[in-house]
């Protein structure tokens, strides 16, 4: 099938629109001038400056810690929630349960952030890294639940039943039969939670205390005042890491799919 001219034009425009802003950002991160919009030759001085900025490094460390822990909690809770959504069709409050899974996907961040903060204050929990982790795990688990459940519904349950008939315990049946099949979805759920946590500005701003500043909070307080070459450099680093990550995982998952297909044939 060949693409019509109209379709080629719309795809080209789309990708230009999506990628030109990022490309410009990356190019100008190598700009020697302090004036971000005026090109004054190639330089890596902003990268050097970034790596000597203690506050930035500190914030990056906090962000990474929060993202790793919250993504792991979210993956466990989200996979459980997906199981409940797909396998248990009748229990008291099922509609409420699915509502609590789907609503956080769309509810504005300001509402989630404000309400969680007021909860933490009412419960007298000290605000800081822990509260950010709880907040991120809460909304990320809903994304994990959606991603994993979409994989779980297509899973052939006869395989699980066969394992049980052959004497596996339910836990063995899950970990040896079901989990390997839904693993790609679980992994992408974890990755999604990880990036959502790295990304979040609004919720973290509400629920964090004076002791914990995340990278987005730090970036936001700086770019509020205008464009800054240091932030361009930071953005470029993040974009590069994300691109490498996404491409690697997609190649790996494709390869494992090929291996599985090969095994099925052989």
Q: Which residues in 111-150 contact other proteins (CB under 8 A)?
A: 111, 114-116, 118-119, 121-122, 134-135, 138, 141, 145-146, 149-150
* Near other proteins by CB under 8 A: residue from 43, 65, 202, 209: 202
* Near other proteins by CB under 8 A: residue from 52, 224, 262, 264: 224
Minimum gap (Å) between residue 52 Cβ and other proteins: 21
- The one-character DSSP state at 177 is I
User: Which residues have a Cβ under 8 Å from the Cβ of 205 and sit 6 or more positions away?
Assistant: 113, 217, 220
Q: Is 61 in the site for other proteins (CB under 8 A)?
A: no
**In the numeric block, which tokens belong to residue 70?**
């919250």
Query: Is the CB of 21 or the CB of 180 nearer to other proteins?
Result: 21
Minimum gap (Å) between residue 218 Cβ and other proteins: 11
Distances (CA, A) of 204 to 63, 74, 216: 10, 16, 9
Residues 232-251 touching other proteins, rule: CB under 8 A, are 232, 235, 238-239, 242-243, 245-246, 250
Minimum gap (Å) between residue 125 Cβ and other proteins: 11
Tell me the Cα Rg of the chain.
23
Residues 145-184 touching other proteins, rule: CB under 8 A, are 145-146, 149-150, 153-154, 157, 160-161, 164-165, 170, 173
Minimum gap (Å) between residue 224 Cβ and other proteins: 7
Residues 6-25 touching other proteins, rule: CB under 8 A, are 6-8, 10-11, 14-15, 17-19, 21-22, 24-25
Residue with tokens 């000290």: 126
Query: Is the CB of 16 or the CB of 266 nearer to other proteins?
Result: 16
* Near other proteins by CB under 8 A: residue from 104, 186, 193, 204: 104
Q: Is 257 in the site for other proteins (CB under 8 A)?
A: no
The residue among 165, 191, 193, 206 whose CA lies nearest residue 249 is 191
Q: Report the distance separating Cα 177 and Cα 172, nearest Å.
A: 8
**Of the listed pieces 41-49, 51-59, 201-209, 258-266, which binds other proteins according to CB under 8 A?**
201-209
What count of other Cβ atoms lies within 10 Å of the Cβ of residue 227? 13
**In the numeric block, which tokens belong to residue 185?**
């979805």
Q: Which residues pair with 42 in a beta bridge?
A: 31
Query: Is the CB of 165 or the CB of 263 nearer to other proteins?
Result: 165
Where would I find the H helices in the chain? Answer: 5-28, 45-51, 54-87, 94-106, 109-122, 129-152, 157-165, 170-173, 179-199, 202-207, 215-223, 229-265
Q: 14: alpha, beta or left, given left = phi > 0 and alpha = psi -120 to 50? A: alpha
């Amino acid at each position: 099938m060949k693409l019509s001219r109209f379709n080629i034009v719309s795809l080209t425009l789309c990708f230009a629109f999506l990628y030109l802003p990022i490309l410009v950002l990356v190019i100008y991160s190598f700009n020697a001038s302090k004036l971000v919009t005026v090109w004054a030759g190639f330089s890596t001085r902003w990268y050097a400056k970034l790596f000597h900025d203690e506050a930035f490094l500190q914030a990056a460390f906090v962000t990474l810690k929060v993202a790793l822990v919250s993504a792991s909690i979210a993956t466990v809770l989200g996979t459980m929630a997906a199981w409940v959504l797909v396998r248990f069709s009748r229990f008291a409050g099922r509609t409420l349960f699915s509502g609590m899974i789907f609503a956080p996907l769309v509810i504005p961040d300001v509402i989630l952030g404000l309400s969680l903060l007021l909860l933490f204050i009412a419960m007298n929990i000290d605000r800081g890294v822990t509260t950010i982790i709880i907040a991120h795990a809460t909304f990320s688990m809903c994304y994990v639940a959606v991603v994993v459940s979409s994989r779980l519904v297509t899973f052939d349950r006869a395989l699980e039943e066969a394992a049980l008939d052959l004497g596996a315990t339910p836990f063995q049946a899950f970990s040896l039969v079901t989990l390997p099949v839904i693993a790609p979805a679980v992994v992408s759920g974890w990755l999604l939670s990880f990036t959502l946590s790295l990304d979040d500005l609004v919720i973290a701003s509400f629920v964090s205390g004076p002791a914990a500043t995340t990278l987005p909070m730090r970036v936001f307080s700086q770019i509020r005042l205008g464009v800054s070459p240091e932030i361009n450099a930071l953005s470029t680093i993040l974009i590069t890491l994300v691109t490498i990550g996404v491409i690697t995982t997609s190649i790996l998952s494709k390869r494992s799919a090929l291996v599985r297909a090969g095994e099925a044939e052989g």
